[in-house]
Chain A
Amino acid sequence: GEKVEQHESTLSVREGDSAVINCTYTDTASSYFPWYKQEAGKGLHFVIDIRSNVDRKQSQRLIVLLDKKAKRFSLHITATQPEDSAIYFCAAGFNNNRIFFGDGTQLVVKP
């Protein structure tokens, strides 16, 4: 089955800098790549996704890049703010309703 790996288990940046979280996947059939954010003691919350028919998507300060040849995708958070501090999960899925999650990246934004 699909395996999603998140390369950074923790990431620390200064407020205002950019943060980049990288993920890789194994199954070329995967076509849907969402990102979720989890704040302390809370459930996961959808933040942005990208589908395999595009290689870049932006929503305000969030940019997702997809490289299908390398089976790699990444989340870029620009102009980070303290409220961006959380655990971020990447995921990959396709049409059978299965969505496979990475192990999460703890992002700390220092003032």
Chain B
Amino acid sequence: DMKVTQMPRYLIKRMGENVLLECGQDMSHETMYWYRQDPGLGLQLIYISYDVDSNSEGDIPKGYRVSRKKREHFSLILDSAKTNQTSVYFCASRDSGNTLYFGEGSRLIVV
């Protein structure tokens, strides 16, 4: 079953705390993405990963870093979370036909 799984689905953190968002896929896709979605701003690309340890910045990488040590896992890390990082974060993987498969999202609130 083709699936992208995100954990946790909901998270509340205090400003300055570290945040780890995890994403897994069972399709052996090489390319994976992290986006954030805010009202009125559509999807903003944070990072792309082309495979294990091969990551590139997207349009809004500041304040984020990523880790991909296994093809099926792609993590988004916020070191010292800020209130403006309150958002819904989506992970996606891409198949050979360019179709993206999205997770259900991780809703992060930073207070």
Contacts and interface: CB of A to CB of B under 8 A. Distances in A.
Nearest to B56: A97
Interface string A53-84: 00000000000000000000000000000000
Contacts of B40: 103
A103 B100 contact: no
Q: Looking at chain B's contact residues, is the secondary structure mostly helix, strand, loop, or mixed?
A: strand
A42 B90 CA distance: 10
Contacts, number: 47
Contact of B31 (A32, A97, A104): A97
B31 A49 contact: no
Contact size class for A? Answer: 10 to 19
A97 B98 CA distance: 8
Interface stretch (B11-19, B61-69, B71-79, B102-110): B102-110
B81 interface: no
B52 to A, nearest CB: 15
Nearest to B107: A41
Nearest to A1: B59
B95 to A, nearest CB: 10
A44 B50 contact: no
A34 B98 CA distance: 9
B48 A89 contact: no
B65 to A, nearest CB: 19
| Chain A at the B interface: SS class | strand
A97 B102 contact: no
A101 interface: yes
Contacts of A46: 99-101
Contacts of A43: 4, 90, 92, 102-105
Contacts of B43: 44, 89, 101
Contacts of B45: 98
Contact of A89 (B31, B42, B92): B42
Given A43-B102, A93-B98, 16 more contacts: A34-B98, A41-B105, A42-B104, A43-B103, A46-B99, A49-B99, A97-B50, A98-B45, A99-B94, A99-B100, A101-B42, A101-B43, A102-B42, A103-B40, A103-B41, A104-B42
